[in-house]
């Protein structure tokens, strides 16, 4: 397996459902910005709405940090709208819901399940240079935590602004960071 960390986000063009409208989004739309791609298997399922609502409840915090969130499934933008219109939980979503019915974007990020036509739960953070800085993929029965994703985005943004420092485990803004060097070897 090859990693996609620090590779450029693939070129893409997709329909999104967002704020009661359909529109086209491309990789050009994220240039110069932070973006989270939050892949999930399918609309009208079970774990997915719990995760999507969890992210929706943190969406304003992501926006304040200059991060756009895109949920992505292999459903169409029409299905996203129907789910949004019929589910009280999904009505809480204010971020773009990206449609990937051909699986092209899911394949490009390495989360497509060929025999099912669905995506694994994949989370990817793209920096303003278009490079993937975080890549996590898990089995579809395991839900994710928006608080932890928010913390990781904060760490990635800190590191971008402080390239000579690193964030230790459980780091949160305001906590101590580390400056790698010989003086730290064997002392942590």
- Of 35, 48, 93, 146, which is the active-site residue? 48
Quote the CA–CA distance of 91 and 14 in Å, as a whole number: 21
The DSSP H or E segment spanning 23 is strand 21-26
Asked if 48 is an active-site residue, the reply is yes
Cα 176-181-183 angle, rounded to 5 deg = 90
User: How do 13-18 and 97-99 pair as beta strands?
Assistant: antiparallel
Question: Biggest alpha carbon distance in the chain?
Answer: 58
| Residues 154 and 173 sit within 8 Å (Cβ to Cβ) | yes
| Residues 168 and 158 sit within 8 Å (Cβ to Cβ) | no
Q: Which residues are the active-site residues? A: 48
């Amino acid at each position: 397996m090859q990693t996609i960390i620090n590779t450029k986000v693939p070129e893409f063009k997709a329909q999104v459902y967002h704020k009661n409208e359909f529109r086209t989004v491309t990789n050009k739309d994220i240039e110069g910005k932070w973006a989270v791609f939050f892949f999930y298997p399918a609309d009208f399922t079970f774990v997915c709405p719990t995760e999507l609502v969890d992210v929706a409840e943190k969406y304003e915090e992501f926006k304040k940090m200059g991060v756009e969130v895109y949920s992505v499934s292999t459903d169409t933008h029409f299905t996203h709208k129907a789910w949004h219109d019929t589910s009280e939980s999904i009505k809480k979503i204010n971020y773009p819901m990206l449609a990937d019915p051909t699986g092209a974007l899911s394949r490009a990020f390495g989360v497509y399940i060929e025999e099912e036509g669905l995506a694994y739960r994949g989370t990817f953070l793209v920096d303003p240079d278009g490079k993937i800085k975080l890549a996590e993929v898990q089995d579809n029965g395991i839900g994710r935590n928006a608080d932890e994703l928010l913390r990781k985005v904060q760490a990635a943004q800190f590191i971008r602004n402080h390239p000579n420092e690193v964030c230790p485990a459980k780091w949160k803004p305001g906590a101590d960071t580390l400056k790698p060097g010989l003086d730290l070897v064997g002392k942590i």
